[in-house]
Structure 1
Amino acid sequence: MVIEGLAAIREELADLYRDLHQHPELSLQETRTAALLARALRPSGYEVAEQVGGTGVVGVLRNGPGPTVMLRADFDALPVREKTGLPYASEVRATDKDGREVPVMHACGHDMHAACLIGAASLLASAKGEWSGTLLIVFQPAEELARGARDMVDDGLFSRFPKPSIVLGQHVAPLPAGFIGYGSGPLMAASDTVNVTLHGRGGHGSRPEASVDPVLMAANVVTRLQGIVAREVSPSEMAVVTVGRLSAGNKPNIIPDSAELGINIRSAAEHTRTLVMEAIERIVRAESAASAAVQEPDIAWEESAPLLVSDPDATATTLAAFTEHFGPERILPMPPVTASEDVGVFGAAIGVPTVFWFWGGIEPDVVFKALAENSIDKLPANHSPHFAPLIEPTLSTGVEALVIAALAWLDS
């Protein structure tokens, strides 16, 4: 059986994971990580291409007639200062795309994703007698900017390499380690980000009447935005509006000329997405006019990820394989989540189904205790400076899940 080879490579994969975790790289800067993954993939006999869609890495393994199955992992990190206290914790600092020096951490588990895909690719390559078809291994950059998948597609991913009949992917989550979480149909929300600049007229803090205060303008915008979900979106619809960045000025006694806001929205339906986007623009422009702004606000929509749909029929097939391998007691149904992923771009680009699942990375007893105490939200989750999955059984479970899912779609 393919999985039997895992024991021989488990420590090597753990070392790879620790290396990736200790040396994170921001989106669009993942050069060391990409080179490391390409180097780890080649010994298994894959045709390897680098710099696909920026720093993306693609591996192809042809093994006779049969379907082409795509396995995908992302590998970029976040501007977060790690607080896990682990011996392999990141101390990396880097310059982000806006020129700011920031701490860097694998706070979303993409290092675990990448290590698991290397493991699965290795096991499948070493057991070619048990399957037939083609494996397309895709390491995707810049997921945190919701653009890496689109960049790879635009760079000819499906014209330069075999076109898959299915896209398979997974995400580590604050679930009990060793467990698989699944959903069918709409699984993860669409995400859109807008950057807003409000224009005032600066002056001395002692004479606000001689100025147009963009800080007050921005504060009113932030407050008013909270009414969109509360009063404009139906209670039966999911939507989230978050102002994650607000910056203005350099000194307490100086009223600045401008204020900037970074706003993110999540939605689960296209009509809700459109409603929220239009409401944000309306509120920003109206508050700017009400505050006598010296010019119209700048509104720039940037990062965008579509609603992620795990194809129901394909999910059922994959889930059946998971249930047989892991046992029904380790399979957990999950509701749709408000986080987002751009993996759906791949399948949508060529009209093939996507199957996406979660797997756990936290000590099971800790999770079950939190559930019993209704304190699940207090557990370190993705994007937290305290989030770092247990290496085992998380690593083995992630490798096994990718292998089992691939074999469910390859010819045997």
Structure 2
Amino acid sequence: MRHALTALLAAASFSSIASAQDAAPATGPAPAATPQSAIGAAVAKDMDGLMTLYRDLHANPELSEKEVNTAAKLAKRLKALKYDVTEKVGGTGVVAVMKNGSGPVLLIRADMDGLPVVEQTGLEFASKVRTKTPEGVETGVMHACGHDTHMTAFIETAKLLAARKDEWKGTLVMILQPAEEVGRGARLMLEDGLYTRFPKPTDAIAFHDAANLEAGTIGYTPGYALANVDSVDIIVKGLGGHGAYPQTTKDPIVLGARIVTTLQTLISREQDPQDPAVVTVGSFQAGAKHNIIPDEAKLLLTIRSYSDETRAKLIEGIKRIARGEAIAAGVPDDKMPIVTVKDEFTPSTFNPPEFAEKMATVLRGQFPQGRVVKTSAVMGGEDFSRYYRADKSINSFIFWVGGVPADKMAAAQAGQASLPSLHSPFWAPEADKVIATASEAMTVLALDILKKQ
């Protein structure tokens, strides 16, 4: 999950969750299995093999745009299921197509990349992979965002749907996407012809594990579900000199501090409180010695919003405040702050409300009461958004599957423990419940979307 969803998702205010179990009949023979419960039984039968795959993926993560081995091993499984498989789409992406007569075209997506995080879960199959980032920093690599559960459930969903071709009509486009964590993967696949080289979807679904929902609970959000994510750099220029003679300088540290403070008013005084947004200064870099006022300071910001209009307003406000504070400090025109909005950004994720509620109804018909809950939008980002934004006639739906063990959730709710967030080196979801729930949920949604008329 992109950028600061790590803490934001863990702190998000979700609905309270009440677990419920199907009641067994008091007497008489067990009822015949329905098609829905048969899917759950099929997943349960496959769990040993799925957990073997999960542990392998967990122990062997690869960074964004480096998912070569991951893509190859999963493409091999899709080929064995008789999908028409194309590799190296948008870099390391995989597209697997199965045509089964005329009907809707359903895209199902899983993301493949790990994170530059040194794992500290203590799992016996914990990642020991080490590599260098594109910036040359040596690091450990970990599936700290749960993409290993995403891929495992994706493979099971592909298997279940391939085995049930007599229950649906249409086309499946199963995609394994690279580089979600850096916000590029979906764009790269689209630019490489995802909607032109392959059947264009009428519908698209995906899920993400959640670090603040009890394991096996499904959360969904109609409308905006995740935010626009922008990264902004501000170079604050000044005139350096001796710290003992500040009157001879234009101090970029003081100016930078004023900019940081005034930026907070973008949210508190300019933004409608019913339209949430975030402006966070995550880094303030300046100076090298106690008694030297530097020539320059650098601020690194993350900006979160939902609508494109709010996004544009915030970016323009940042530029205005940086320049205005510089003018107030007496900085000459040739030393005005330089504000750079990074080209790569993650657009906000939108679940068309009517379609989201329809999908939630299907899920509630599949799972016991209380396991499907409506959740609040979060300020994290997910580039699954791009598949809908590329064509807003597509019915798009991303949902959450909780991964927190019940005892740890109870302890956290009682104030006796804190929960690790996504991207934490300690995040270890109750993987079997995430995988089983997600596999069953995606299969049931797919069968509903592709149901025979």
Aligned residue number for residue 358 of structure 2: 317
* Aligned positions of 1:316-355 closer than 5 A: 316-350=357-391, 351-355=393-397
Work out whether residues 21 and 90 of structure 1, in 8 Å CA contact, stay in contact via their aligned partners in 2.
yes
* Aligned positions of 1:174-189 closer than 5 A: 174=211, 175-189=213-227
Work out whether residues 253 and 297 of structure 2, in 8 Å CA contact, stay in contact via their aligned partners in 1.
yes
Aligned residue number for residue 150 of structure 1: 187
**How far is the alpha carbon of 1:246 from its aligned partner?**
3.2
**How far is the alpha carbon of 1:172 from its aligned partner?**
0.5
Identity %: 42
**How far is the alpha carbon of 1:363 from its aligned partner?**
0.8
Aligned residue number for residue 336 of structure 2: 296
For residue 43 of structure 2, what is the amino acid of its counterpart?
A: L
Write the distance in 2 (CA, Å) between the matches of 1:161 and 1:19: 30
**How far is the alpha carbon of 1:66 from its aligned partner?**
2.1
For residue 224 of structure 1, what is the amino acid of its counterpart?
A: T
Write the distance in 2 (CA, Å) between the matches of 1:178 and 1:313: 24
Aligned residue number for residue 282 of structure 1: 320
Return the structure number with greater helix share.
1
Q: Does 1:23 align with 2:44?
A: no
SS of 2:358's equivalent in the other structure is helix
Q: Does 1:379 align with 2:379?
A: no
Write the distance in 1 (CA, Å) between the matches of 2:292 and 2:60: 40
- RMSD over equivalenced CA pairs, Å: 2.4
Question: Could you tell me the TM-score, scaled by structure 1's length?
Answer: 0.91
Write the distance in 1 (CA, Å) between the matches of 2:195 and 2:98: 15
Distance 1:256 1:166, change over 3 A: same
Aligned residue number for residue 361 of structure 1: 403
For residue 283 of structure 2, what is the amino acid of its counterpart?
A: R
Q: Does 1:265 align with 2:306?
A: no
Aligned residue number for residue 230 of structure 1: 268
Of 118-127 and 201-210, the range deviating more from structure 2: 201-210
Q: Does 1:389 align with 2:429?
A: yes
Work out whether residues 39 and 440 of structure 2, in 8 Å CA contact, stay in contact via their aligned partners in 1.
no
**How far is the alpha carbon of 1:219 from its aligned partner?**
3.4
Deviations 1:142-172 (A, max 9, x none): 2222222122111110100111110101111
Aligned residue number for residue 122 of structure 2: 85
Work out whether residues 364 and 372 of structure 2, in 8 Å CA contact, stay in contact via their aligned partners in 1.
yes
In structure 1, runs of 5+ residues without a counterpart are none
Write the distance in 2 (CA, Å) between the matches of 1:253 and 1:86: 48
Write the distance in 2 (CA, Å) between the matches of 1:276 and 1:168: 30
Aligned residue number for residue 57 of structure 1: 94
Structure number with greater Rg is 2
**How far is the alpha carbon of 1:348 from its aligned partner?**
2.3
**How far is the alpha carbon of 1:253 from its aligned partner?**
5.9
Write the distance in 2 (CA, Å) between the matches of 1:31 and 1:210: 56
Query: Which of 99, 109, 120 is residue 136 of structure 2 equivalent to?
Result: 99
Distance 1:251 1:136, change over 3 A: farther
**How far is the alpha carbon of 1:68 from its aligned partner?**
1.2
For residue 225 of structure 2, what is the amino acid of its counterpart?
A: L
The number of residue pairs the alignment matches comes to 410
Distance 1:68 1:298, change over 3 A: same
Write the distance in 2 (CA, Å) between the matches of 1:38 and 1:332: 33
Deviations 1:252-288 (A, max 9, x none): 5655543332211111233322221111112223344
For residue 383 of structure 1, what is the amino acid of its counterpart?
A: H
Write the distance in 2 (CA, Å) between the matches of 1:204 and 1:80: 40
Q: Does 1:38 align with 2:47?
A: no
Work out whether residues 217 and 291 of structure 1, in 8 Å CA contact, stay in contact via their aligned partners in 2.
no
**How far is the alpha carbon of 1:296 from its aligned partner?**
3.3
Of 119-128 and 93-102, the range deviating more from structure 2: 93-102
**How far is the alpha carbon of 1:326 from its aligned partner?**
0.8
Of 193-202 and 249-258, the range deviating more from structure 2: 249-258
Write the distance in 1 (CA, Å) between the matches of 2:68 and 2:350: 30
**How far is the alpha carbon of 1:131 from its aligned partner?**
2.0
Work out whether residues 80 and 385 of structure 1, in 8 Å CA contact, stay in contact via their aligned partners in 2.
yes
Write the distance in 2 (CA, Å) between the matches of 1:405 and 1:100: 42
For residue 259 of structure 2, what is the amino acid of its counterpart?
A: V
Deviations 1:86-144 (A, max 9, x none): 22223333333333334332222122111111111122112222222211111112222
Work out whether residues 2 and 130 of structure 1, in 8 Å CA contact, stay in contact via their aligned partners in 2.
no
Write the distance in 2 (CA, Å) between the matches of 1:249 and 1:295: 17
Distance 1:315 1:279, change over 3 A: same
* Aligned positions of 1:108-257 closer than 5 A: 108-174=145-211, 175-201=213-239, 212-249=250-287, 255-257=293-295
In structure 2, runs of 5+ residues without a counterpart are 1-37
Deviations 1:299-331 (A, max 9, x none): 221232222111222222221221111122211
